[in-house]
Structure 1
Amino acid sequence: MRTPEPHRHVGAYALGVLGAADAFRFEEHLAQCPLCEIRAAEFRAVTAVLADYARRTPPGVDPVVRVGPEPVRRAVAAVLSARRSSRRKRLALVAVAVVLAVGGPFVVAGGSGGAGGPAAVRTERWAAADPSTGMTVVVTAGAKDWGTDVGLEVARVPEPGVCALVAVGRDGSEETVTTWSVRGPGDRPPAMHGGAALRPAAIDRFEVRAADGRRLLALTR
């Protein structure tokens, strides 16, 4: 894994496919890179899906389906198109990795879908980082009947105190999604959840604000 861009190995590390030596070197990088810590956490849903798929595979059936060249070409073309049209492309890359691994589509299981089983939930990811402070934030936004279910992961808030995640609507309205307390720059709160009455399509951006209302970081589309 001798590369000037160790960030690219976060997916392989999270999925457990790096060799022992490469995994050791990446862990050294991970200890100093909060953005990779957040990206590695994003793969937890993927590893959970793969583990569940393996458990559901009948005995004697190969859980890995070989994908022909045409599906691979279509998957690559879809990712390239997504990269051109959106800055939030990591989820698409993860979905393609799962397609190539198990030979099927990838969805995030959500609430009950009735007799047909779990319904597919479309989840958007918003991410931003401040190079000057090292602060990184990842927000997941999933559509619900009542509005938007929001997940939040934060690393290296630059100052102690109470912070808030605020959803700002396209119409200028604001809703506080969640608040938390920070003890200092080294404090890393656990993943948090909250909600907003605004629908995902109606959200213009998310902002992390200090207790006095100052904006510490903005996450835009």
Structure 2
Amino acid sequence: MTARVEHTDVGAYALGLLEEEDREAFEAHLLLCGGCRAELSDLAGVASALNGIGPVREEPPPVPGPAIDLLRRKRAADRRTRRGTFVIGMAAAVTLVAGGLTVGTQLSGGGAAQVAQDHAGHVGQGPAEQFYADGRPIAGKGVDGVSGGLVVESKGWGTHAALKLAGVKGPLECELISVGKSGERRVMTGWSVPPAGYGVPGSPDPLYMHGGSATPLKEIDHFEVVTSTGKRLLTVRI
């Protein structure tokens, strides 16, 4: 990834101000950052009001208004201010991507649980559920009544996967892990399971999550859902 990606690019992306290279890099970053996805959702209404063109869009509006011009100038000034700390920030970002650390594992406290709930499909279909529904799920083998599967796709930066998980009760902390043919294990995403659980009586909706691994799809042997205590709940072989 050659383009510079920063968490503060959310507003510029929502308003269509990023150049093509930066936009593509930021869209890859969104897969690995639950905080940016949540902020992008919050900014949808603001972008609509400023542009007057409806929902958030990827391309910039044909004739930006004064508010857009002001935000563009402010963003340029912010970039100049941050230039001194860019190298340190990029080093941290590369470390996170290399480890496949995403979504719940980057959030603290109740944030991970909230992301999990947002992806459970209570109001329409979230991005993970939509990707799963549109793809070709690979069924996994679970234990203790756990069931689920994955939809996977190869990306330039590695592997993107959407998980469906049911039959699991909490409280638990879980991770989706890619296991390479070499035995290398990478955490793709992490989340908290509330006491009510997912896909069980009283809480019938399954959990949908997605995450990414820096390991290319052709080099992955299988995927695992494991708890923080090391118990394997689901294995998906490709």
Sort the TM-score into its range (normalised by shorter chain): 0.3 to 0.5
Between the two structures, name the one with larger relative contact order (CA 8 Å, sep ≥ 6).
2
Q: TM-score, normalised by structure 2?
A: 0.39
Greater per-residue strand proportion = 1
Structure-1-length-normalised TM-score: 0.42
